[in-house]
Amino acid sequence: MEDELRDPKNFLEYFLPRPLRLAFFGGSAASCLIASLITAVQLIQSPALELAEGTTARDLIVNIIGLATFTGLFIYDQKQAAVRVERRREIREAQIAFGDREVFVNDQGEKMSRLKEVNDDWIVRRLERWGKRDGMPFVGPDKGALLQQLVADKAPRLVVEVGTMAGYSALLMAQALPPGGRIVTFEKDLSWALAAKRFMWQASQGEKNQGVSSRVGDRVSVEWGDAREKLAGVLQRAGGPGCIDLLFLDGTPKEYLDYLRAAEPFLAPGALVVADNAGVFAQGGLKPYLEYVRGGSGGKYRSELIACKLEWRDDVDDGIEVSTWLGSGSGSGSGAAVEGSKAASGVA
Ligand SMILES: C[S@@+](CC[C@H](N)C(=O)[O-])C[C@H]1O[C@@H](n2cnc3c(N)ncnc32)[C@H](O)[C@@H]1O
């Protein structure tokens, strides 16, 4: 938002800043006006409007054109400045309405406004406005509230997410984590991974968070790379088998089953696996995944669909599939992981 209050710069701004521009246009218009008047008087005073001591009617026309041009440029520049002032006023008012800017009275008794400190709430609101305006596939506030509830109920030590994008869902989950909880989130697109890292850093700024040992953005590690390739290596270092308490899948729908299979050795007993878009993609890319968690895995999961709306669309039904990891009854190797995690975490 701060950026939006800055004047757009063009090359003219660098060569001729506004005060110089106004002095140049105004001075040139004034000198053209004076020259036009002098030329006109000389022409009128000369007998039969003939040549008057080297002054021609052409000089008069040139001076009048100069006067019109410089006056036009002067007025145009003034109007553009007024447009910018009005735009800044609109942005300030919008920021106050959104709660991003606060009004205060300064030492001289003048009413002023200033941007509030950047913190996690501020970043979440900003991402929501962006998501709503441009229809970004962030989970959105309604599904986000569901996700936060699941995290709050589960109180996970480690959440793993596939599909960070700008970090909206990661931030929401981070807000609901218990003390000491962490999130590892995978993003294969470098520019999104960098954007998310920036938002996580910003979410850790601000007065509100001062003195808090674990600030919201600091609870999130953004891992750049394809989750199908990186997940096992990163989780081996992050806690090893049985370290995931909650897995949130929001990457490419047809890859969900691959993510799950890669994550299975790291699921803790009773871990929750939450899959986004289980309504809209139920008959498409998510079909094999849903078949797997709803019985095809041979009883590794107990699964249910929580119906909700698609982000930013009240007219489109969607859902999130919430599956509880019951452990591997089929001896696929993940059972050893569960046992290992029980021992490691002290779960009976
Ligand atoms: C729907 S968006 C995620 C939105 C995010 N969870 C939120 O709610 O704010 C999907 C993201 O997953 C990423 N993605 C897709 N396939 C991936 C993969 N195999 N590994 C890591 N990230 C992936 C995409 O680049 C995209 O940024």
Instruction: Indicate the top mutation candidate among 188, 220, 311 to test ligand 1's pocket, ranked by most ligand atoms within 8 A of CB.
Output: 188
pLDDT computed for residue 53 by the predictor? 59
pLDDT computed for residue 18 by the predictor? 85
- The CATH number corresponding to 121-345 among 2.130.10.30, 3.40.50.150, 3.30.360.10, 3.20.20.210 equals 3.40.50.150
Q: Which amino acid is at 298?
A: G
Assess whether the C-beta atom of 143 lies below 6 angstroms from ligand 1: no
Q: What is the pLDDT of residues 78-95, one digit of tens each?
A: 998 899 889 889 988 988
Longest dimension (CA), the chain: 117
Q: What is the mean pLDDT of the segment spanning 278-282? A: 94
- Residue 322 predicted with pLDDT over 50: yes
* Residue 172 dihedral angles phi and psi, to the nearest 5°: -60, -45
Three-state secondary structure readout of 170-189: HHHHHHHCCCCCEEEEEECC
Q: What is the mean pLDDT of the segment spanning 277-302? A: 94
Q: Which of 124-128, 241-245, 253-257 has the lowest mean pLDDT?
A: 124-128
- Domain coordinates of the chain in residue numbers? 3-115, 121-345
pLDDT computed for residue 57 by the predictor? 80
pLDDT computed for residue 332 by the predictor? 40
Q: Which residue has a Cα nearest atom 25 of ligand 1?
A: 189
Instruction: Tell me how far the alpha carbon of residue 149 lies from the centroid of ligand 1, in angstroms.
Output: 21
- Residue 330 predicted with pLDDT over 50: no
Residue 42: band (very low, low, confident or very high) from pLDDT cuts 50, 70, 90: confident
Instruction: Tell me how far the alpha carbon of residue 250 lies from the centroid of ligand 1, in angstroms.
Output: 6
Assess whether the C-beta atom of 188 lies below 6 angstroms from ligand 1: yes
- From residue 167, alpha-carbon distances to 162, 192, 297 in Å are 11, 8, 31
Q: What is the pLDDT of residues 175-192, one digit of tens each?
A: 999 999 999 999 999 999
Average pLDDT over the chain, rounded to an integer: 86
pLDDT computed for residue 45 by the predictor? 80
- Residue 346 predicted with pLDDT over 50: no
Q: What is the mean pLDDT of the segment spanning 252-272? A: 97
Q: Sign of torsion, CA 346 148 226 278?
A: positive
